[in-house]
Amino acid sequence: MPQPLSQQPARICILGGGFGGLYTALRLSQFPWESNSQSHQKPEIVLVDQSDRFLFSPLLYELLTGELQTWEIAPPFAEILQNTNIRFCQAAVSGIDIDHMHVHLHDGVDIACDRLVLALGGETPLDMVTGATSYAYPFRTITDAYRLEERLRILTQSNLDKIRIAIIGAGYSGVELACKLSDRLGEKGRFRLIEISDQILRTSPEFNREAAQKALDKRGIFLDLETKVESITQDNISLEYKNQIDTIPVDLVIWTAGNRVNQIVRNLPLKQNQRGQISTQPTLQVLDYPHIFALGDIADCQDAEGQQVPATAQSAFQQADYTAWNIWASLTNRPLLPFRYQHLGEMMALGIDNATLTGLGVKLDGNFAYLARRLAYLYRMPTLDHQLKVGFNWLARPIIEALSN
């Protein structure tokens, strides 16, 4: 492991600006760093992401219904980091040399570092079904939302009597999308939600699952359970149910099923599980590589209690605090802390002004859950400055709209 060059502070390179990466960087920038020795100097923190914006992904659905605006859920990294010592580098990662601690970027830049954080997140596996790469719309990034918005605009302005939409995957993303888009399109939308297992929201609490089922039934969204997608074309989707294949005309296919580890990560010579997730210690250090940390979707982590940590935004939030602490501790000769995951509950939007929430002994649905969800996410936004701007806008918007009417 190379040591910092003489008279130079350590460099921490964080790959991925999602919840895991960005929040690790922000937390690191807040720690006290003693200046009485070279090894304790304030390190250089470099955050790398191929997008110019952070995305608060749990609120991406509200972009399609006009409930929220891009600047609220996807502020530019330059804005978030302007009052910090974090250096942002917009670039895609082309390779990682884990033995020499070098990161290679597509623009030809190489970054040497003393601590490396892998937080590159997952990707939607569209190549599992014939035609999906060409004709299905993923829904994971701000670019995906813009592409989908444009397709919806074209369909809405067409002469179609009904807009037929198939959504693949009845997990959180699929159910939330179905309800939001149904509220947006109203009578003009005809939806079917396709799920390979025998129920929606398999990992969700029963209260959330029942609330979601009611929301889907109320909107007349058709459910295809135990159904596999065979192929997708420009105008049709072929479904297999009990060994029978049915081909159905569609105007739009949205793919929300599955989550795959980034190819760059899968190619690393690190211990991985069957899904390509990197095996870590409870301290979030990669096995056999104590100077490399992994968190979020790409980490296969068991916490201090031995419980498997789910690949969720909630987990990444919590892991970021521990990752930052442990990097700071490793550079300042302090003890590292094993991660302790706390399940705080689950929240889900079920259309405009409607949600469901369970956790910490509370079960809510309807308008109160919608408000609680908004407030919880406002509290989780990356900086106090952004929280204040967004919070003020949420308070002022109803007043402005009432006055304009």
Q: What is the pLDDT, as a whole number, of residue 36?
A: 46
Helices 206-218 and 172-185: angle between axes, nearest 10 degrees: 30
| CB atoms closer than 10 angstroms to residue 346 | 18
**pLDDT digit string (tens) for 156-215?**
999 899 999 999 999 999 999 999 999 999 999 999 999 999 999 988 888 999 999 999
Q: Could you tell me the end-to-end alpha-carbon distance of the chain, in angstroms, rounded to an integer?
A: 65
| The predicted structure's pLDDT at residue 35 | 55
Can you give the pLDDT at residue 204?
A: 86
Residues 6+ apart with CB under 8 A from 110: 102, 103, 104
- Tokens 């989707």 -> residue: 237
Q: State the amino acid at position 96 in one-letter form.
A: I
Q: Model-level pTM?
A: 0.90
Question: Cβ(325)–Cβ(25) under 8 Å?
Answer: no
Distance CA 216, CA 220 (A): 6
- Between CA 383 and CA 127 the distance in angstroms is 37
Q: Write out the two tokens for 142.
A: 């701000």
User: How much is the pLDDT for 7?
Assistant: 59
The tally of CA atoms less than 13 A away on the side-chain side of residue 220 is 10
Location of each CATH 3.50.50.60 domain in the chain: 11-50+91-123+260-331, 126-255
Assigned CATH class of 11-50+91-123+260-331: alpha beta
CATH architecture of 126-255: 3-Layer(bba) Sandwich (3.50)
Strand-pairing partners, residue 122, are 261
For residue 147, give every residue at least 6 positions away whose Cβ sits within 8 Å of its Cβ, in sequence order, or none.
137
Sign of CA dihedral 277, 279, 282, 286: negative
Q: Which residues pair with 244 in a beta bridge?
A: 241
Alpha-carbon span 29 to 15, nearest angstrom? 16
Please list the residues that pair with 191 across neighbouring strands: 165
| Residue 89 to residue 97: CA distance in whole angstroms | 18
Q: What is the pLDDT of residue 33?
A: 76
pLDDT at residue 40, as a whole number: 61
Residues of the chain with pLDDT under 50: 1, 3-6, 36-38
pLDDT at res. 238: 95
Q: Are 253 and 126 in contact (CB under 8 A)?
A: no
pLDDT at 227: 94
**Distance in angstroms (rounded) separating the CA atoms of residues 1 and 113:** 10
Q: For residue range 30-74, list pLDDT tens digits in order.
A: 988 765 444 567 899 999 999 999 999 999 999 999 999 999 999
